[in-house]
Structure 1
Amino acid sequence: MNKIFKPKLFSILKTGLEKKQISRDVMSGIVVGIVALPLAIAFAVASGVSPEKGLITAIVAGFLISLLGGSRVQIGGPTGAFIVIVYGIVEQYGVDGLIIATMLAGVFLVIFGLLKLGTLLKYFPHSLVVGFTSGIALVIFSTQIKDAFGLSIEKVPSGFYDKWMIYFANIDSINWIAFALTVATILITVFSKKIVSKIPGSFLSIIIITLVVHLFHLEVPTIETFFGEIPNKIHITTPHFQFADLQSYIAPALTIAMLGAIESLLSAVVSDGMIGGKHRSNTELIAQGIANIVTPFFGGIPATGAIARTATNVKNGGRTPISGIVHAITLLVIMLFLGKWAKLIPMSCLAGILIVVAYNMSEWRSFISILKGSYFDILILLTTFFITVFYDLTLAIEIGVLLSAILFMKRMADISDKRINNIVDNDIIENYSDFPDKINIYEISGPLFFASARRYSEAIEEVGLKCDVLILRMRHVSFIDQTGFHNLKDAVNILRNKGITIILSGVNAEIREDLKKYQLTDLIQEELILDNFSKATEKAYEILGLTARAN
């Protein structure tokens, strides 16, 4: 257990902390708390629950994930990815059902961590992740149309197609003031950082729009219209349910657990790249599980690692879990002393913030990039996307995982069918000890596809960070899939940001074309993509201004 569950905070405290870093973490935590405030409220409202549940989740889960998690900088709380599944559970089972499903999801997450599944979950194809992330983004956007336009609709259907039919049927009830406030919110959220860089755009938009509405007595729906007063206390909640009904919560709980695990580990990987760190996957899953077991007792909803808030933490100097703990304390103080004012926030303002969130989630650039790739990647992308949008997120994940397994078998079959003897680079050099310390060589010994891409990219980063020039030998790489290119691109970006030059050696003609298609030639100049190892070593010596060794 000690080897599996090792919270980063405890390890950091053992090695000691500088006072400067503690002050940076405290300041970063306060900023992230302010960023999280409007998002926590917006995610709760969009999920069909009262606003304080979002705040409670950000406070309790955010505190526990930072205290017990396996990442230095992860910020936990409610996220946009959960809106679709939470809304569906509340519609079908009520709030008590959501509490049970969330706690059960927490149990699954702890089990995932104890079984060391954290490393496996990182190997899902990129096309699968983009498929349901883009699908969720479109669903979130569609749920905000009513409030964005101020439409007079008493009950919005849950189905995507039905939603849009009722929107068009009520198009004549548009509240143009509400629509103008939505547009203003989007513009302030997106562009305010160019003028006031230190205040988060979403927070600024809530302050400005709320003041405008109440100073000019504009008639638009607010949080108070639908939810009344926002409590400034946290109460213990106990759900009412029958044990006989427990099995009906297993499917939604597994969906929450899978979605939470994937998003939190994706966030941890992204933050690793930003700080040059390495998270502990299984510890992170156990911490996420504990947070989701405990948070519902206080009235919270599902929580996971939040990529945008984690990135904000890093950009503001946060480097230890102290910043995440301070973020939770900041939100608690705001809720206790300023929460009563949150009821004045216009619904159109929250809609504007969520539309920006949906756009940022959409990953449209990755979506288009995958559509240029292999047929199987396109199949996984479009299948998970359309099932998420038109049917059900639970089914989308189930079918996506099944397609991933089929893809894995296909890739393994491709490996056995490929012949290595047509690779251009045929020279065999096993001993690299003659090279100077500033040059490192790493060889990829097989195809770079979704099942191996993460491990190879981590190794490339580790080897590359110890030199000035990294020669990446690719003579035995018979093919690279979309996930492989995505991970390779991330590794190259990290090394380039550290000032390290990457040279590719033994690249066959097919992969060279794919490098152009996936825009890796924007990161690695074509003169550094070479067909044999001798040319690569000559180039490395030339870059360093050294005399090339005798062959």
Structure 2
Amino acid sequence: MSTLSDKLKVPGDFWGGLASTLVALPAAVAFGVTIYSAISPQYAVFGALAGILGATALGLIASTFGGTDRLISAPCAPAAAVLSAFAIELVNQGVAPASIVLMLTVLGILTGLIQILIGFLGVGRLIRYIPYTVVSGYLSGVGLIIIGSQIPRFVGTSANTAWWRAAVNPALWDTRSIAIGAATVLVALLAPKITKAIPSTILGITAGIIAYFVLANTDATMMTLTDNPLVLGSLGASSEGYIGTIIGRWYDIGELKLSQVAALFGSALTLAALLSIDTLKTCVVIDQMTRTRHDPNRELFAQGLANIASSAIGGIPGAGIMGPTMVNLSSGAQTRVSGIIEGLLVLIVALVLSNFIAWIPVATLAGILIVIGLRMIDTKPLNFLESRATVFDFAVVAVVIGFALTVGLIAASAAGVALSILLFLREQVGGSVIRHKTFVSQRSSTWYRPEAEMRLIAQKGDKAVIFELQGSLFFGTTYELYSVLEAEIKTRDYIILDLRRVLSVDITAAHMLNQVRDMMRDRGMPLLMSNVREHLPNGNNLLEFFKQTELIDATDAVRVFQTIESAIEWVEHKLIGDIELPVETEVALNLQEMNLFQGRKVETLTDLEARMEQRTVKAGDSIYSIGDQERELYLIRRGVVRILAPIGGSRQLHHIATFGRGDFFGGLAFLDDHARGDNAIAHTDIDLFVLPLEQFNQLAEDHKKLAFLLITAISRTLAHRLRHADGERTMLHV
């Protein structure tokens, strides 16, 4: 694996890191202020510092240990939503502010540890299977939570004021704050329509600061940092007290009881799940845009490590987030070094511009978060209301949003997944597991039989029914399938179940098939099954599963065939009375005994036989192969021949036909001037009559009538086979 220095792509990684810094830093400060302001307005400055430290640690560590190129990790909206709600809950319980800060630190560390555990256990690959409706509702729910949490700061009331109380009580509003916030929101929303060269977040913050100083010209109190509720105030990033605060916080953590830490586990699990989803969702988007593939478990390990480090130094946790990542990608970044550059630049910019950051209005940060919240709301599910087929999917989105706003984000995700599963089951139960129902009279095996036998099979073929099954055989579809099979058992002698398109089978379906087997056994007939695969798409072994459930045992109550054609072949033998003789007792036919020459004069056939070569081929040997140029017609005196050919452009050969005693093969290459398109293999020891084209041409000169009759018989048989094949193909496409 190449080192980071080997992979550095200048200047793309630098410009990508710089551009993403301009987006991630203001948002990180805003998220930090949101969380810590929930503790007390005086803690807003600590929140700004926590956001900066979080963006630095996440950028450096997640990019170093992660494997996804161009991914930018920083504090994010889900973290702000969960942590601010957690802080508000502790405030309502009367917990001291210093203790709340301590709990936030421990919560962040636990979150990182859980993410590392998730990555180590390989659970990361499962998160990608969360339904779109759940992700949509979750994002919209978080967006609404973010917007609601910023309304008090936007209108200039106390951060502890409920959003709905702040929204409906104009007496609490500060018109200066509203003007500053409105300028920020309007510019941030309209900027992308005017220019994309500068991130809208930067333009929105610039507009808010300009609005602040315009108003400050008429209000002298706005020109001071001390006791000014409209701005962040001094960060104190270089204060010696910061190191002492962190050391003291770690000392207090050491004094915590195990029960206190365990009480945080539920919130940590919630936050870890949300941050993991946010990260992997962004990674999937990167994969789609760059045609790469990320390692979800490695990425979760890196994110967990970064969140532990961030919380340990007083920062807030985060995830791989969409906004800065897209800016990083569009600015020319090529590798994960751009994420490390972003982390370094966040720290440098914060140190150099700490005095400037102190003058950022609180309403401006609230306005930026409101814009972020608005952009997180997914309006596409509204289109689901236009069709009855998708109205239930909209209901899932609505339930997730409702749970997110009233109960919690993890409960919202759980409710959404549960509803999605119910909708999936509903669709599965509503769809039929029977793809096709046909009869042996409508389909044939790969065995080409004489016309007399084909007529007999056509007459008796409705005694054998074929069911091609599809999808999942589980408790939701068992009753429907059993009802159909029960009715057929009363009127059919043979039932063939083809499982080639079956994706999974559960224990309930296996029990139902046991009942069907027993009913067939009571009639003295076996249940026939084909394509009982050992490797299903879900990785299960269906053949082994049927043995474990005792569906398949040592008796012949269930006969298993490799292909549907071999199952049909077995039924055909039964329908025509097993008239085929065992191979070892077969007697080689003469020409006059073959259906092709019945009714011809012996002397004429004697002349034809003299022009033929008699050939014996051992079982397993090749008679001809794909590409061979020999133009010969083969007539089977004794034995069985199988024809193998590629299907659908695949190089793999498939068994497509079987010819037995008295039949012929090789007719197409004999009639046209093309090379062989298939392989002919002796399935048993065989005796053949072989007629080369050169000998046939001489026969045509001496016995024109015999040659004409031979070609007519061959063409008639080939036409019959083609008509039968076309009929089957048409029937299968219905």
Same fold? TM cut 0.5: yes
Query: Do 1:255 and 1:397's aligned partners in 2 also have CA atoms closer than 8 Å?
Result: no
Q: Give, as a single letter, the amino acid of the residue that structure 1 aligns with 2:303.
A: Q
Matched, 1:245 2:260: yes
Q: Name the SS of the counterpart of 1:345 in structure 2.
A: coil
Counterpart of 2:703? none
Q: Give, as a single letter, the amino acid of the residue that structure 2 aligns with 1:107.
A: L
Query: Do 1:148 and 1:348's aligned partners in 2 also have CA atoms closer than 8 Å?
Result: yes
Query: Do 1:275 and 1:314's aligned partners in 2 also have CA atoms closer than 8 Å?
Result: no
Q: TM-score, normalised by structure 1?
A: 0.68
Rounded Cα–Cα distance in structure 1 between residues aligned with 2:188 and 2:435:
52
Find the partner of 2:276 among 261, 264, 281: 261
Counterpart of 2:485? none
Counterpart of 1:167? 167
Counterpart of 1:505? none
Rounded Cα–Cα distance in structure 2 between residues aligned with 1:400 and 1:65:
30
Deviation at 1:187, TM superposition (A): 2.4
Closer/same/farther in 2, CA of residues 106 and 227 from structure 1, 3 Å limit: same
Query: Do 1:232 and 1:340's aligned partners in 2 also have CA atoms closer than 8 Å?
Result: no
Counterpart of 2:322? 307
Find the partner of 2:50 among 48, 53, 77: 53
Q: Name the SS of the counterpart of 1:344 in structure 2.
A: coil
What does residue range 428-507 of structure 1 map to in structure 2 within 5 Å? none
Cα deviations across residues 155-175 of structure 1 (Å, max 9, x unaligned)? 223xxxxx314531x223433
Cα deviations across residues 429-477 of structure 1 (Å, max 9, x unaligned)? xxxxxxxxxxxxxxxx969xxxxxxxxxxxxxxxxxxxxxxxxxxx989
Find the partner of 2:367 among 352, 355, 364: 352
Counterpart of 2:11? 23
Rounded Cα–Cα distance in structure 1 between residues aligned with 2:210 and 2:502:
60
Deviation at 1:411, TM superposition (A): 5.6
Q: Name the SS of the counterpart of 2:10 in structure 1.
A: helix
Deviation at 1:408, TM superposition (A): 5.5
Deviation at 1:115, TM superposition (A): 1.0
RMSD: 3.2
Counterpart of 1:115? 121
Matched, 1:138 2:144: yes
Q: Name the SS of the counterpart of 1:22 in structure 2.
A: coil
Q: Give, as a single letter, the amino acid of the residue that structure 2 aligns with 1:34.
A: L
Q: Name the SS of the counterpart of 2:11 in structure 1.
A: helix
Query: Do 2:233 and 2:359's aligned partners in 1 also have CA atoms closer than 8 Å?
Result: no
Deviation at 1:404, TM superposition (A): 4.5
Counterpart of 2:189? 190
Deviation at 1:330, TM superposition (A): 0.7
Query: Do 2:382 and 2:394's aligned partners in 1 also have CA atoms closer than 8 Å?
Result: no
Query: Do 2:181 and 2:208's aligned partners in 1 also have CA atoms closer than 8 Å?
Result: no
Counterpart of 2:396? 380
Closer/same/farther in 2, CA of residues 224 and 405 from structure 1, 3 Å limit: farther
Deviation at 1:325, TM superposition (A): 0.6
Matched, 1:202 2:201: yes
Counterpart of 2:88? 91
Q: Compare relative contact order (CA 8 Å, sep 6+) and give the higher one, 1 or 2.
A: 1
Matched, 1:390 2:390: no
Deviation at 1:349, TM superposition (A): 1.1
Give the number of the structure whose residues are more often strand, by fraction: 2
Rounded Cα–Cα distance in structure 2 between residues aligned with 1:396 and 1:315:
33
Matched, 1:75 2:91: no
Counterpart of 2:480? none
Deviation at 1:38, TM superposition (A): 1.1
Closer/same/farther in 2, CA of residues 55 and 368 from structure 1, 3 Å limit: farther
Q: Give, as a single letter, the amino acid of the residue that structure 2 aligns with 1:75.
A: I
Rounded Cα–Cα distance in structure 1 between residues aligned with 2:386 and 2:399:
12
Rounded Cα–Cα distance in structure 2 between residues aligned with 1:12 and 1:131:
40
Cα deviations across residues 167-222 of structure 1 (Å, max 9, x unaligned)? 31x22343333222222212222333455543222123323432442354165988
Closer/same/farther in 2, CA of residues 390 and 198 from structure 1, 3 Å limit: same
Deviation at 1:301, TM superposition (A): 1.4
Rounded Cα–Cα distance in structure 2 between residues aligned with 1:134 and 1:300:
26
Rounded Cα–Cα distance in structure 1 between residues aligned with 2:501 and 2:375:
37
Unaligned runs of 5+ in 1: 1-10, 158-162, 428-444, 448-474, 479-533, 535-549
Q: Name the SS of the counterpart of 2:294 in structure 1.
A: coil
Counterpart of 1:471? none
Deviation at 1:129, TM superposition (A): 1.0
Unaligned runs of 5+ in 2: 38-46, 91-99, 438-442, 444-469, 473-499, 504-647, 649-676, 678-725, 727-734
Identity of aligned residues (%): 27
Query: Do 2:23 and 2:323's aligned partners in 1 also have CA atoms closer than 8 Å?
Result: no
Counterpart of 1:34? 22
Query: Do 1:384 and 1:396's aligned partners in 2 also have CA atoms closer than 8 Å?
Result: yes
Query: Do 2:180 and 2:209's aligned partners in 1 also have CA atoms closer than 8 Å?
Result: no
Rounded Cα–Cα distance in structure 2 between residues aligned with 1:208 and 1:216:
12
Query: Do 1:224 and 1:344's aligned partners in 2 also have CA atoms closer than 8 Å?
Result: no
Find the partner of 1:230 among 235, 252, 269: 235
Deviation at 1:398, TM superposition (A): 3.4
Rounded Cα–Cα distance in structure 2 between residues aligned with 1:366 and 1:12:
43
Cα deviations across residues 483-530 of structure 1 (Å, max 9, x unaligned)? xxxxxxxxxxxxxxxxxxxxxxxxxxxxxxxxxxxxxxxxxxxxxxxx
Q: Name the SS of the counterpart of 1:144 in structure 2.
A: helix
Matched length: 414
Find the partner of 1:155 among 148, 157, 160: 160
Find the partner of 1:100 among 96, 101, 106: 106
If you compute each CA radius of gyration, which structure gives the higher value, 1 or 2? 2
Give the number of the structure whose residues are more often helix, by fraction: 1
- Tell me which moved more, 71-80 or 219-228: 219-228
Closer/same/farther in 2, CA of residues 216 and 366 from structure 1, 3 Å limit: same
Closer/same/farther in 2, CA of residues 167 and 188 from structure 1, 3 Å limit: closer
Rounded Cα–Cα distance in structure 2 between residues aligned with 1:52 and 1:477:
57
Q: Name the SS of the counterpart of 1:382 in structure 2.
A: helix
Counterpart of 1:526? none
Post-superposition, which runs of at least 4 consecutive aligned residues in structure 1 deviate over 4 A? 193-196, 218-224, 370-373, 404-415, 475-478
Closer/same/farther in 2, CA of residues 404 and 288 from structure 1, 3 Å limit: farther
Rounded Cα–Cα distance in structure 1 between residues aligned with 2:72 and 2:277:
15
- Tell me which moved more, 54-63 or 230-239: 230-239
Closer/same/farther in 2, CA of residues 87 and 477 from structure 1, 3 Å limit: farther
Matched, 1:365 2:380: yes
Q: TM-score, normalised by structure 2?
A: 0.52
